[in-house]
Structure 1
Amino acid sequence: MELKTKQDYLSDTVKKMKPSGIRRFFDLASQMDNVISLGVGEPDFVTPWHVIEASFHSLEKGYTAYTANAGLPALREEISGYLENNFGVSYNPEEEVIVTVGASQAIDIALRAIVNPGDEVIVVEPCFVSYAPSVELAGGVPVSVHTKSEDNFKLQPEQLERAITPKTKAVIFCNPNNPTGTALTKQELASIAEIIEKHDLILLSDEIYAELTFDQKPISLTSISEMKERTILISGFSKAFAMTGWRLGYVAGPKEIIKGMLKIHQYTIMCAPTMAQYGALEALQNGRENVSHMVQSYRQRRHFIVDSLNEIGLDCYLPGGAFYAFPSIKSTGLTSEEFAEKLLLAEGVAVVPGNVFGDSGEGHVRCSYATSIEQLQEAVTRMGRFMKSL
């Protein structure tokens, strides 16, 4: 009898799954000296001290046991109030909110709660790298909708409608968008909501960057029309509150769906880390000034990097949110991966190839401006030198 290899024990889904395209460039950059990274998708700010202190105090008080599966009641209350004050949507903290291990876990359990084998889930690209793999791990079929650079990567309602079939169950959508920084207006969101309502679909609305909206007041899709009843709102503390390593997110939605998600959460996680929950509670209660400071800093950096990229010959539109610029590199004749690798090796600047975020990202690279203005200035100088060398 022929013995199985260890590879044979893996599921077919995992065998087919590609590793994260972002990691390859991070791993390459980590082996080099004097690299400026514009690839990391996290704030360069340190978590505010009062948040860290609140977490320390929770340990000093002996709060080291599990919390309720759904999270600290006080934190869920605060999340509910935050959503109502900022977006005008009201959630029952006892039945409609779960505190999760980052927004990524919220995406995972949301998909596993609603997807049956063979269900189609529309994934709007370019997008966060985990969306399509998470759909596949839930047994679903990801269906890509490619937004276009000529539309500044804004989803057009007719694009969405064309992708819908009798098997379509849900749409997963990020606003403001990672990697493009695109932020839709309320009118544009309403047009998308109309299509979702018309076809009786569920929306997974990833709003992790909602606070980082620069040219308009942050908008949640849940606040439009009747969308609250068919939306699973996913967010967290990583981006706006500079708490990436704390791994704390949350999900809000209709109580029937949240109840289903809680079953999965109970069996896989039990609860989010207790000390992190106390830190998040402090961030929501007393951290608004810190958020405003970070948003103002990102707004200034956004203008600098977009103007600079255009000056060196990389066409780049002004993103409305998040902390990413998504310039076109088509004028160089290189693919996204070729451009990123050559730039890293020649000048020590790490950017992320656009194609890792979906086929519609090809011809672009993602540049994070969540780094100091001095680092951005040096990075753009090196990129300009690289462009001249081509």
Structure 2
Amino acid sequence: MKHVEHFHGSDLEKIEQIYHIKKEDITSFSANVNPLGVSKKLRQTLSDNIDVITSYPDREYTSLRKEIGKYVKANYENIIVGNGSTELISLLIQIKHPKNALLIGPTYSEYERELNLAGCHISNFTLKEDVNFDIDIDSLKKTIINSIDFLILCNPNNPTSSAIRHDKMRQILDFCRDNNIFVMVDETYVEFANDMEHITLVPLTKEYKNCIVLRGISKFFASPGLRLGYAICSDTAFLDEINQRKNPWTINSLASVAGEIMFQDEEYINSTKTYINSERETFCKILSECKNVKFYTPVANFILVQILKPGITSKDIFERAIKKGLMIRDCSSFQELGDKYIRFCFMSREKNDELLEVLLEVLK
């Protein structure tokens, strides 16, 4: 077997071609999707509402936005929806058209791609491993003040699974507001956090007009194929501009109905939080007893691990795991990390045990 490239969690077809393993036999620990799958309530209700595809959805998606508003505890008029958070990221960057953006790395690569397409100059602020990838506000301010007009934060961050809580976030937002800097916060993984209420920026959007919060249903609600994203911002003029620029009906009727259902599904939401918390604690306990790894306390549904054993790289562990049909993320594609880091999410108890067995066998 030869590891010829880095794979995204959705690249199962590529894995199938290169490693000759049927994609149906691969468990993706790199996609970071809720292992509970689609909720029973959503599965049943979508089936019952299949006829909605015979008509156009409401252009304003009012009913959907109201359900999202209840879910995130925000005014629905401050909410905009799109074809996944990826569409909203693209629209936001196109409209703001920043000249100098700052990325906090290592982080999700799509931000850089969209900024490059907009012709934006990109600066980088690197999170330090020796402080467990926690953000240094004073150092960040010194970097921001250098002609930056756009800041992107992934919170909790991918791939570090670290988070910025309200005390530090207020410092960042205050500083950016004073320096005419717009802040985009991607909260794709915030719902997996134990102390979500101390991390999510949504309550602070009422105070700060210089920011927007993005979320989606791909990860927490295990529905990447529905392509439903949403954003919260108190600058209604800016939201109006996004609505005017984006195509109408970018969310199909089934996705709109699904959104209204899933945000009300408290049983599924609570079950997910309970399960992820339990698996997160289990992984941390077991890894803490292995002297050849260092893990960084995870906030989200995935964990970043540093390999301390000499002679073993992320490529080695990737290939050992894929032979068992277990696909983890080789983090050497993140230039700030190198070939000693892997990332994986929490899947079913059975599959988690299989992955732990592989890791401990290689790293013991």
Query: How far apart are 1:278 and its partner, in Å?
Result: 0.5
2:287 to 309, 321, 345: 309
Q: Give the counterpart of 2:271 among 293, 312, 315.
A: 293
Q: What's the offset of the Cα at 1:92?
A: 4.6
* Residues 340 and 352, structure 1, Cα contact 8 Å, conserved in 2: no
Equivalence for 1:58:
49
Number of aligned pairs? 353
Q: Does 1:91 align with 2:72?
A: no
| Matched-pair contact (CA < 8 Å) for 1:343–1:350 | no
Is 1:76 aligned to residue 60 of structure 2? no
Q: Is the 8 A contact 2:287 2:293 kept in 1?
A: yes
Paired residue type of 1:257: F
Cross-structure match for 1:13: none
Displacement after TM superposition at 1:167 (Å): 3.7
**1:40 matched residue in structure 2:** 31
Identity of aligned residues (%): 20
Distance 1:231 1:64, change over 3 A: farther
Residues 103-125 of structure 1: CA distance to partner in whole angstroms, max 9, x if unpaired? 11111111111015xx1111111
Question: Do 2:159 and 2:343's aligned partners in 1 also have CA atoms closer than 8 Å?
Answer: yes
**Offset at residue 28 of structure 1 (A):** 5.7
8 Å CA contact 1:29, 1:344 repeated in 2: no
Structure-1 residue corresponding to 2:345: 368
Q: Which residue of 1 aligns with 2:228?
A: 248
Deviates more, 1:210-219 or 1:255-264: 210-219
How far has the Cα of 1:172 moved from its partner? 0.9
CA distance in structure 1 between the aligned counterparts of 2:108 and 2:37, rounded to whole angstroms? 23
Higher deviation after alignment, 155-164 or 228-237: 155-164
- Structure 2 CA distance, aligned partners of 1:270 and 1:226? 28
SS at match of 1:98: strand
Task: Name 1:156's counterpart in structure 2.
Answer: 136
Task: Please say if residues 121 and 168 of structure 1, whose CA atoms lie closer than 8 Å, have aligned partners that are also in contact.
Answer: yes
- Matching of residue 207 in structure 1 with residue 184 in structure 2: no
| 1:339-378 → structure 2 map (5 Å cutoff) | 339-344=316-321, 349-360=326-337, 363-369=340-346, 371-378=347-354
- Out of 256, 259, 275, the position equivalent to 1:280 is 259
- For residues 376 and 199 of structure 1, the distance between their equivalents in structure 2, rounded to whole angstroms, comes to 46
The one of 240, 248, 251 equivalent to 1:259 is 240
Give the gaps of 5 or more residues in structure 1: 1-18, 85-89
- Amino acid paired to 1:263: Q
DSSP 3-state at the match of 2:320? helix
1:191 corresponding residue in structure 2: 171
Contact conserved, 2:217 with 2:224, CA < 8 A, in 1?
yes
Residue 355 (structure 2) pairs with residue 379 (structure 1): yes
Q: Take 1:109 and 1:216, find their aligned partners in 2: how far apart are those partners?
A: 27
In 1, the alpha carbon distance for the partners of 2:308 and 2:85 equals: 33
* Deviations 1:173-212, CA, capped at 9 Å, x for gaps: 1112222211233222223223322322111111122211
Q: Please list, as runs of the form range in 1=range in 2, the aligned pairs for 1:2-41 lying within 5 A after superposition.
A: 21-22=7-8, 26=12, 29-30=15-16, 31-33=19-21, 36-41=27-32
**Is 1:326–1:365's contact at 8 Å kept on the other side of the alignment?**
yes
Q: Which residue of 2 aligns with 1:122?
A: 102
Contact persistence 2:205–2:212 (CA under 8 A):
no
Counterparts of 2:253 and 2:295, CA distance in 1: 42
8 Å contact kept, 2:30–2:345: yes
RMSD of aligned alpha carbons: 2.7
Aligned CA distance change for structure 1 residues 235 and 156 (closer, same or farther; 3 Å): same
Residue by residue over 1:39-92, the C-alpha shift from the partner in whole angstroms, topping out at 9 and shown as x without a partner, is: 2221222211222333333333x453332444x2111112222222xxxxx335
Would you say 1:220 and 2:204 are equivalent positions? no
1:339-385 per-position Cα deviation (integer Å, ceiling 9, x unaligned): 4444346665432122334424663211111x111111111111222
What is the Cα deviation at residue 126 of structure 1? Answer: 1.8
Query: Is there any run of 5+ residues in structure 2 with no aligned partner, and where?
Result: none
Q: Which residue of 1 aligns with 2:57?
A: 67
1:126, 1:360 within 8 Å by CA — same for their partners in 2? Answer: yes
TM-superposed deviation, 1:141: 2.2
Indicate if the aligned counterparts of 2:68 and 2:76 stay in contact, CA closer than 8 A: no
- TM-score for both structures, normalised by structure 2: 0.87
Q: CA deviation at 1:225?
A: 8.3
